Amino acid sequence: MDTYNKTQGNPNVLAMIMAGGQGSRLFPLTEHRAKPAVLFGGKYRIIDFVLNNFVNSGITKINVLTQFKADSLIKHINSGWQMNRHFGQYVDVVPAQMRTGKEWYQGTADAIYQNLNLINDENPDYVAVFGADHIFKMDISRMLDAHRSIDAQITVAAIPKTLEQAKEFGVIEIDENGMMIGFEEKPENPKCIPGQPDMALCSMGNYLFNKEFLVDILITDASTLSSSHDFGKDIMPQAYKNHTVFVYDFFNNIVPGETEEQNHYWEDVGTLDAYYEANMTLRRIVPQINIYNDKWPVRTADQQTAPVKFIFGSEDTGDNRCGQAIDTILSGGCIISGGIVKRSVLANNIRVDDYSEVEDSIIFNDVMIGKNCKIKKAIIDKGAIITDDSTIGFNKEDDLAKGYTVTENGITIVS
């Protein structure tokens, strides 16, 4: 695998990860944390996936731009993503600093503009601007190779989506050489891919820029009063008209050790239902997102937890209760004490007490589930205490009356 750093004669690449969004569609999971800090797959945070993509691709100069409710995100990165700065490797958290005025980030382009000092100080050849809130695996070095081979000024990663889904993305048109010839942000009537009338080509919000070009367009955009200072709304719709903008097909990206389906997996997890389904895919025999591939490891902050324990009966009373977990992901410190867990994802330090049943659910850290509880199609946030004989996920009206959130697809969120 190539490593992109100047000491080996390869181009110097700086990664700028956008981790400042509010994640309002994931509320209440984002009530007290930024979207990239939301738990995923039991032990990970959403941001871990893009961080691992960069590190596994040999790109190890990384700035994470934060803004809203960043405390848990900052703690996670500081505890789990320490790099060797002596060898030019770092993952630095960069809080919003208002370096250019008294405004928070006005858009994605403005977020980079307000941190141009980081780009100028590092003076890279290329700048990768990626989002922090997607679940996917990607060998970014392949995208960089494509960018360099055609001498593009911008390369945008793209993926096909249905026309209905495309309304939430930037929709791209390309010519026969993969060059951008059209871009429309969140169109009401997306243009389809030629020959595929039900699909549109959508921006993933992941960009590669030549450094000098990026600095120039950001300075120009910052002085444009009519701009909302956003890559999707302002930069992309204009850039392709006068500059070389290449569109990189995500489906051509190959990650070692992944199946074809896994190579094509990319999920925005922007809504509670999408987040739930992305977690549930991990339970499959061959999951769409593979966290067990040692050729492309998914690292995270190491948590000091005890081993998982299952309790069967009681030697003193002869009780035949049996703790079980079936088609379930269990993280460290869980104790299944006489309850049964099916088709679920459990984070660290969860207790499921006698005769309780948990099905098709996502349970965050440090949750205590009492005796004789029945829980189905639920997401239970960190630290919740579910008292004995509770029922969650079986009656929408009852759940709403208890102050829980219930999604369109019937997922109950306890926060």
Q: Are residues 250 and 334 in the same domain?
A: no
d(CA 256, CA 263) in angstroms, rounded, equals 9
Residue 111 within a domain:
yes
Q: Are residues 266 and 326 in the same domain?
A: no
Has residue 37 got a pLDDT over 80? yes
Q: How many CB atoms lie within 10 A of CB 12?
A: 18
Q: Are residues 236 and 360 in the same domain?
A: no
Residue 1 within a domain:
no
pLDDT of residue 1: 38
Domain-ending residue, one of 241, 266, 283: 283
State whether residue 131 is helix, strand or coil: strand
pLDDT of residue 6: 45
Are the CB atoms for 178 and 249 separated by under 8 Å?
Answer: yes
pLDDT of residue 106: 83
Has residue 156 got a pLDDT over 60? yes
Q: Are residues 236 and 319 in the same domain?
A: no
How long is the chain? 415
Beta bridge partners of 258: none
d(CA 3, CA 298) in angstroms, rounded, equals 18
Largest CA distance in the chain: 80
Token pair recorded at residue 311: 């309790």
d(CA 300, CA 81) in angstroms, rounded, equals 7
Confidence of residue 86 (pLDDT cuts 50, 70, 90): confident
Q: What is the pTM of this model?
A: 0.92
Question: Quick one: residue 313, left, alpha or beta (phi over 0 = left, psi -120 to 50 = alpha)?
Answer: left
Q: Are residues 110 and 10 in the same domain?
A: yes
Range of the domain at 355: 309-414
Token pair recorded at residue 146: 């494509």
Q: Are residues 251 and 315 in the same domain?
A: no
Please report, as a single letter, which amino acid is at residue 12: N
Give the dihedral sign, CA 379/272/228/113: positive
Quote the radius of gyration of the chain (alpha carbons, Å).
23
CATH number at residue 168: 3.90.550.10
Of residues 75 and 103, more confidently modeled: 75
Query: CA 206 → CA 33, 134, 143, 169, 387, distances in Å?
Result: 23, 10, 10, 12, 44
Q: What digits encode the pLDDT tens for the residues 299-343?
A: 999 888 999 999 986 555 556 678 999 999 999 999 999 899 999
In the chain, pLDDT over 70 holds for what percent of residues? 94
Has residue 3 got a pLDDT over 50? no
Range 284-290 average pLDDT: 89
d(CA 21, CA 38) in angstroms, rounded, equals 12
405-406 and 378-380: which strand pairing?
unpaired
Burial 214-244 (b: 16+ CB within 10 A, else e): bbebbeebbeeeebebbbbbbbbbebbeeeb
Q: Are residues 273 and 377 in the same domain?
A: no
Query: CA 146 → CA 248, 250, 293, distances in Å?
Result: 8, 12, 25
Are the CB atoms for 329 and 42 separated by under 8 Å?
Answer: yes
* Least confident residue range of 93-97, 211-215, 388-392, 411-415: 93-97
Of 191, 190, 182, the closest CA to residue 247 belongs to 182
Q: Are residues 266 and 193 in the same domain?
A: yes
Q: What digits encode the pLDDT tens for the residues 53-69?
A: 999 999 999 999 998 89
Q: Are residues 174 and 262 in the same domain?
A: yes
Structurally, how many domains does the chain consist of? Answer: 2
Residue 257 within a domain:
yes
Residue 289 within a domain:
no
